[in-house]
Amino acid sequence: MFRKTVCLAAMLVVASALQTASAQSTSSDAKPSKIKLTTQKLKEMKARWSANRPKLKACRAEVKAKGLAGDDRWFYIEDCMGKS
């Protein structure tokens, strides 16, 4: 009985390790919109955008019209501000 319990516990440890390894490998392939933005990166982006307020206002209006929220909103504004 003890041998079966130990074997079962070992199988659970191996299975959880494999699941963790596979989860880590797929997270590196995530789209940029799924990656959380750091506050430092947001501050840098806002500082660059404040130089061109009319364009930022237009980009924010587009975001509001599309109903974007969270990181998707910031990435859309970044793309919009990067367009010439």
In the prediction, which pLDDT does 64 show?
A: 93
In the prediction, which pLDDT does 3 show?
A: 74
In the prediction, which pLDDT does 50 show?
A: 82
Residue 82: strand, helix, or coil = helix
Give the tokens for residue 1.
Answer: 């009985």
Low-confidence ranges of the chain (pLDDT < 70): 2, 4-37, 84
In the prediction, which pLDDT does 14 show?
A: 63
In the prediction, which pLDDT does 47 show?
A: 84
Task: Round to whole Å and give the CA distance between 40 and 63.
Answer: 22
Instruction: Specify whether the CB–CB gap between 73 and 63 falls below 8 A.
Output: yes
In the prediction, which pLDDT does 10 show?
A: 65
Task: Round to whole Å and give the CA distance between 46 and 78.
Answer: 9
Closest CA to 59 of 36, 44, 78: 78
In the prediction, which pLDDT does 27 show?
A: 46
